[in-house]
Amino acid sequence: DLTSDRAALLSLRTAVGGRTLLWTTTQQSPCGWAGVQCDNAVNRVTALHLPGVSLSGQLPVGIFGNLTRLRTVSLRFNALSGPLPSDLSSCVDLRNLYLQGNHFSGPFPEKFFSSLRHLVRLNLAGNNLSGEISNDFNNFTRLRTLYLENNRFSGSLPELKIPNLEQFNVSFNNLNGSVPKSLQSKPKESFIGNSLCGSPLEKLCPSKEDVPPAVSVDLSRNRKKKHGLSGGAIAGIVIGSVLGFIVLVLLLFIICRKRSSNKTTVVAKLTDAEVLGEKPLTGGSNGFSATAAASTAAMTASSATGGGEACAPKKLVFFKNSSTVFDLEDLLRASAEVLGKGTFGTAYKAVLEAGMMVAVKRLKDVSVSEPEFREKIEFVGAMDHKNLVPLRAYYYSKEEKLVVCDYMPMGSLSALLHGNKGGGRTPLNWKVRSAVALGAARGIEYIHSHGDDVSHGNIKSSNVLLTKSLDACISDFGLAHLVGPPSTPNRVAGYRAPEVTDPRRVSHKADVYSFGVLLLELLTGKPPTHALLNEEGVDLPRWVQSTVKEEWTSEVFDLELLRYQDVEEEMVQLLQLAIDCAAPYPDNRPTMSEVTSRIVELRGASQVDNGLNPDQVHGLESD
């Protein structure tokens, strides 16, 4: 009954921990616990969805022996090890077993094949399982999916006469022999990485009885070749080695020259300073002071040569909506710390002597001319909205281009959701997440209100920064138009709309797509570059869509969110909006103003504005 189901789940939690530790054990019924589903009619636990939640260790025997009404077990992408639990065979109703991406080892347990006769989907890929893939799989007459790739299965493949088997993969094991007839219609990729032969693989199977004579001759020739190298081969190897050596010497020469020329530039100083890293540093040895020193050098140089007539004077230029409360000298004296490296350069936090904190971005690879730079940055600097990170000033010289904006004390949404080098994840409750979604949407809507050709172009969770009161502000707006194409294009790949081929040619609709991915990230807690997605070779929107289609909507949501059952309807509505935004065809995506009104609507009239205080960021812990 439900009491023994509950006890079994608690033993699971004790044994493998992970984010099951968030379960509120004061609740008598386990049915509200994240990842646990019950069937009210029979009052039993019927599904366990705990993918990618850091479970680790062995599954002790006794857990599945009690959870006998399970139909779905999904413990994919954890760090579970040891043998597959032998009492899985008690779950005779089991339809779906997803254990891929763990460290399970050893052979299939006894009775595995005789008991689990209802299995429809079996995915054990990416473990260390061994033993043979036996004839017993034919017991699973309803099987549609059989994924066993990336394990250590050995021996030959049996004939599998399973009528509805659609998805099949045994690649990258230690299998040998020929591909049986019943599996020859499967794609070649399902078998590669083994010593298998025969169709659909290109490798023919040698057969003792009827090897045609021509083939025997070939084989013997090959064998002969192995004994010694021909003159031609020896000459090839000698020439290859000499060429390789010359290339190596040339490379070393180029690297040495580069190093010695760099030594005289400030860039070298900066690189050293950046290695010093995150600790606040004072004095001339820190990264930012080095930058500023470069700026001063540039300033001196330009005033010495009289500067260009067309160019404005080399000083910190403040935007109209900012008061001039510090100057370049103050920035020079500020203590600074590297916040991180982005596509457009390095960001620093600078603490001015008056205690004021600003973020300074040192832009690299600025590709536009000085007048164009000034015109574009002035345009961006004139923007003023509650949900945009306020720009304060900029600096332009031949050597240095700096942009100064407000420092956002709560950091980025990405750091809160996924943790960063300084700390782990911060539990964010539904109220915070939906407020962040709304704030970010309003920021983007404001940018779009400046015209059809004004888009952000780089919407992602590290560009959504939070104020002390957890208002979301969009950052990095306009920088994409100032710099050359990013040297690391993949950084935004997970957010980029499919139609965008040149990252500088962006559109409102492409921003909407990126925002959709950001919403999915907020809801699932998974970054668009999550290992689970890479393993499955899909992007976040496609993963969510396929999971929703299989009616596992609850598996999509971040476990932390599943605690708030009273807002499930709102969550599902936001999920739908996210999917609409990430539609493959730009014309099918809503506009940003439609997006904001839908978020306002789904959050309900009670939650006007953000109305949060910083303590609510820890809302989950206080529960």
Q: How far apart are CA 45 and CA 24, in angstroms?
A: 16
CB closer to ligand ATP, 462 vs 596 = 462
CB closer to ligand ATP, 365 vs 536 = 365
Known binder of ligand: residue 361? yes
CB closer to ligand ATP, 408 vs 497 = 408
DSSP state of 492: G
CB closer to ligand ATP, 340 vs 614 = 340
Under the binding rule (CB under 6 A), the answer on residue 462 touching ligand ATP is yes
CB closer to ligand ATP, 23 vs 344 = 344
Strands (E), 115-213: 121-123, 128-132, 145-147, 152-155, 167-169, 174-178, 195-197
Least distance in angstroms from the C-beta of 593 to ligand ATP? 24
CB closer to ligand ATP, 30 vs 342 = 342
Among residues 291, 455, 463, 524, which is the contact residue for ligand ATP, using CB under 6 A? Answer: 463
- Identify which range of 28-36, 153-161, 375-383, 460-468 contacts ligand ATP by CB under 6 A: 460-468
Under the binding rule (CB under 6 A), the answer on residue 343 touching ligand ATP is yes
Task: Kindly report the backbone phi and psi dihedral angles of residue 190, in degrees, each rounded to the nearest multiple of 5, phi listed first.
Answer: -70, -15
Under the binding rule (CB under 6 A), the answer on residue 407 touching ligand ATP is yes
CB closer to ligand ATP, 103 vs 386 = 386
Rg (CA), the chain: 30
CB closer to ligand ATP, 314 vs 361 = 361
Cβ-count burial 35-44 (b if 16+ within 10 Å, e if not) = bbbbeeeeeb
In this structure, the strands spanning 145-147 and 317-318 are: unpaired
Q: Which amino acid is at 303?
A: S
Least distance in angstroms from the C-beta of 374 to ligand ATP? 21
Least distance in angstroms from the C-beta of 520 to ligand ATP? 18
Residue located via tokens 């008690």: 90
**Mapping DSSP to helix (H, G, I), strand (E, B) and coil, where does residue 128 land?**
strand
Among residues 475, 514, 596, 610, which is the contact residue for ligand ATP, using CB under 6 A? Answer: 475
Crossing angle for the helix pair 287-304 and 266-276, to the nearest 10 degrees: 160
106 bridge partner residues: 129
Q: Which of residues 409-428 bind ligand ATP (CB under 6 A)?
A: 411-412
Under the binding rule (CB under 6 A), the answer on residue 60 touching ligand ATP is no
The H-or-E segment that residue 371 falls in is helix 370-381
Contact 438, 604 (CB under 8 A): no
- Identify which range of 146-154, 225-233, 399-407, 615-623 contacts ligand ATP by CB under 6 A: 399-407
Q: How far apart are CA 586 and CA 559, in angstroms?
A: 31
Query: Which of 298, 373, 371 has the alpha carbon at shortest distance from 332?
Result: 298
Q: Which of residues 482-521 bind ligand ATP (CB under 6 A)?
A: 491
Under the binding rule (CB under 6 A), the answer on residue 404 touching ligand ATP is no
- Identify which range of 252-260, 285-293, 461-469, 576-584 contacts ligand ATP by CB under 6 A: 461-469
- Contacts with ligand ATP by CB under 6 A: the residue count is 22
Among residues 281, 347, 520, 561, which is the contact residue for ligand ATP, using CB under 6 A? Answer: 347
DSSP state of 141: T
Least distance in angstroms from the C-beta of 503 to ligand ATP? 10
- Identify which range of 3-11, 138-146, 244-252, 341-349 contacts ligand ATP by CB under 6 A: 341-349
What string of DSSP letters covers 82-110? ESPPGGGGG-TT--EEE--SSEEEESPPT
Crossing angle for the helix pair 592-603 and 508-524, to the nearest 10 degrees: 30
Contact 54, 76 (CB under 8 A): no
CB closer to ligand ATP, 183 vs 465 = 465
Least distance in angstroms from the C-beta of 271 to ligand ATP? 16
Is cis: bond before 200, omega within 30 of 0?
yes
Q: How far apart are CA 443 and CA 441, in angstroms?
A: 5
Give binding residues for ATP as ranges. Answer: 361
Q: Which residues bind ligand ATP (CB under 6 A)?
A: 339-340, 342-344, 347, 359, 361, 389, 405-408, 411-412, 458, 462-463, 465, 475-476, 491
Give binding residues as ranges. Answer: 361
